């Protein structure tokens, strides 16, 4: 019998690329429980706050929405300070008994910085402007790193890298969502 416990939730590929004054976050739309695709067109990348932050998540959807809400609250507390808001969220995530049980990871970006947030308190800035999470994250990350020095723009790199991840990872599909911001 298949259960919906967190270890049986596989989910997604989220990738961010920062290049030539633009930051792009993209993700696929597949939601799976075990070996079954439950939904193919989920929107796991969206604008947050007043539209000046992009977020993407991998993991349990309800948990990720809870974290997005908490991050938006922190962004209201610390306007224009994405890193500070993320550090404060990470502190809460590690110490709050309820939040500690949430099974999700997030990539967030504004015009200045891209970050990965995890439930272990990590707030990580990517090397070379490229970072990925989720079951197909390593595949997308490798593809994006290979393409970052090409003449492709950030969005083209994200699209091609997610396409490559979908070729390899059974928990990643080609129904992608892309959001972007002009970076500093």
Q: Domain coordinates of the chain in residue numbers?
A: 6-179
Q: Which residues have CB under 8 Å from 181's CB, separation 6+?
A: 22, 23, 52, 54, 109, 110, 111
Peptide bond into 12 cis (omega under 30): yes
HEC string of 117-167 equals ECCCCCEECCHHHEEEEECCHHHHHHHHHHHCCCCCCHHHHHHHHHHHHHH
pTM across the whole model: 0.90
* Residue 12 appears among annotated catalytic residues: yes
Nearest alpha-carbon partner for 107 in 130, 88, 128:
130
Please state the CATH superfamily assignment of the domain spanning residues 6-179 in this structure.
Aminohydrolase, N-terminal nucleophile (Ntn) domain (3.60.20.10)
Q: Which residues of the chain have pLDDT under 50?
A: 1-9
Q: What is the pLDDT of residue 181?
A: 96
Instruction: Report the C-alpha gap between 149 and 153 in whole angstroms.
Output: 10
Q: Which of 12, 13, 16, 172 is an active site residue?
A: 12
109 burial class (0-12, 13-18, 19+ CB within 10 angstroms)?
Answer: buried
Identify the burial level of 83 via C-beta atoms within 10 angstroms of its C-beta, where 0-12 means exposed, 13-18 middle and 19 or more buried.
middle
The pLDDT assigned to 53 comes to 97
């Amino acid at each position: 019998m298949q259960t919906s416990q967190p270890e049986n939730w596989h989910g997604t590929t989220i990738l961010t690329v920062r290049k030539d004054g633009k930051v792009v976050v993209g993700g696929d739309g597949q939601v799976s429980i075990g070996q079954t695709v439950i939904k193919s067109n989920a929107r796991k990348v969206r604008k947050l706050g007043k539209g000046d932050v992009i977020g993407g998540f991998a993991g349990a959807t309800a948990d990720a929405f809870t974290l997005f809400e908490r991050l938006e609250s922190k962004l209201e507390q610390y306007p224009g300070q994405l890193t500070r808001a993320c550090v404060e969220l990470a502190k809460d995530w590690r110490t709050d008994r309820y939040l500690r049980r949430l099974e999700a990871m997030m990539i967030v970006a504004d015009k200045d910085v891209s970050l990965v947030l995890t439930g272990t308190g990590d707030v990580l800035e990517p090397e070379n402007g490229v970072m990925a999470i989720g079951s197909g994250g390593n595949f997308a990350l490798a593809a994006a790193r290979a393409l970052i020095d090409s003449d492709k723009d950030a969005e083209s790199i994200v699209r091609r890298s997610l396409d490559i991840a979908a070729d390899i990872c059974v928990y990643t599909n080609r129904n992608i969502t892309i959001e972007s911001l002009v970076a500093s």
